[in-house]
Structure 1
Amino acid sequence: MTQSVLSSSAQALLDRDPFLQQVASYKVQIDETIITSVQQHERELEQQFASDVEHVQRKEQLSQFAWWVGLDKALIGLWEEIEHYPLWLKSEDLDKWNKLNLKDISGSSKENTYSVEFIYGTQHFKIIELTQDGPGELNSVLSFFEDDVEVFAIECLISAIGGETEHICQNICAFKKSGNWPKILLEYYGQIKIEKAKSANTMKYFRVGEFKSRFEG
């Protein structure tokens, strides 16, 4: 049991006992040495890694911007939309499921890594997912490439709901301030949201017609 404050009887004993006073004085010296040593070490690290501190600040700033604009959600939305596209390339209803009209679709898989590639205009884009098993959970890193350069990456927690997987962004891992990738992500994500809204509206009015035929009177 640790106590930070002495009881009145223990304090009275300390006041009249030279040995205990010596131990208490030594404890104060040790505490001061600890504080001084830790502070000095921190100052040395700040000087040694001054440029790295700036990078940490830059990471936080760009991460906040990515979340504010919704680039993380855009990458997740695009990945969850197209991750199975390479498997459906030979299907007869190709035009039906390729709602984003992606060109030159291809993909690859190896162990815990899966990728989908496509062409937008004259540029080559690719998303790679690296899955990682954690204690009691499944995580992944989604990386977005523009012309073979990683421009954006996020770390996600993967949850399974009703047989479908859902990615939840936990951390921004990479953000390059160059290229067309932010516009591409936001444009495709906008198309995905429009299609989902149209589908929901269609179902809503279909249900209205069903109710009309079943609830008469």
Structure 2
Amino acid sequence: MGKRKADDQLERCESNRCIRYDIQLLKEVEQFNPFAFKNQEPIWENIVEALRDSPIPMNVTSRSCRERVTELLQYYRKGEMLSIPICGIAEEHRTALQVLLTDISKLEETRPSHTLKSLCTSKDHEEAEDVRDRALDEIDADSDIVISYTSDDEFEFGPNRGRSGRRSTPKNDLVKFLENKNAMDLELRREELRIREEELRVKNKEIEINQLKVEAEIEERKKMMDLLVKLVSSAGPAQ
């Protein structure tokens, strides 16, 4: 009976030690945030170095760190935190682990946000460029028409001459109409481009605001986690 009790105590100590390793690992992952980089390997190497120099030195590799974080996130996202194979751990440790996994899960989920922002900006920019190119093409085409009409115009230097020196003929009237139309179309397209640029600025501002909200929430949770870790450290291992 005494041996069984001693074994249970040893198991609890080992479990609390393991979760302290997990907590330290997740703290470094949250600090370095490898998910924000396209090439994550150097960041994971930095995490490994930090863990080896931490208050509880850990002999780990970048691969083992990635796999452990992935495993913990899988438990977290499936709502199976209680199923993590570290039974007998202190409640404070489990709470700290929960807070860290919540923050890191958000970091990983927001990883595409920068790419999405770039894609949206690029797509809208391409659309604006396409609108502008079409406008310029149409203007060039209309200009060719105007030139073809005006090239055949005859001028009259007599009392019936118009203000521009052209005779008042249906052809001249059509040329004037097309010139006015071109000017109006060009102004409309310029206004459309200005509107599109304003929409892009608004979208970018919304993305920045959302990013600030996420960062503020992560910072708040980090403070909570630090407080919990301090409480855990002051309480010592569960007996």
Q: TM-score, normalised by structure 1?
A: 0.25
Higher relative contact order (CA 8 A, sep 6+): 2
Higher normalized strand content (fraction of residues) = 1
Higher normalized helix content (fraction of residues) = 2
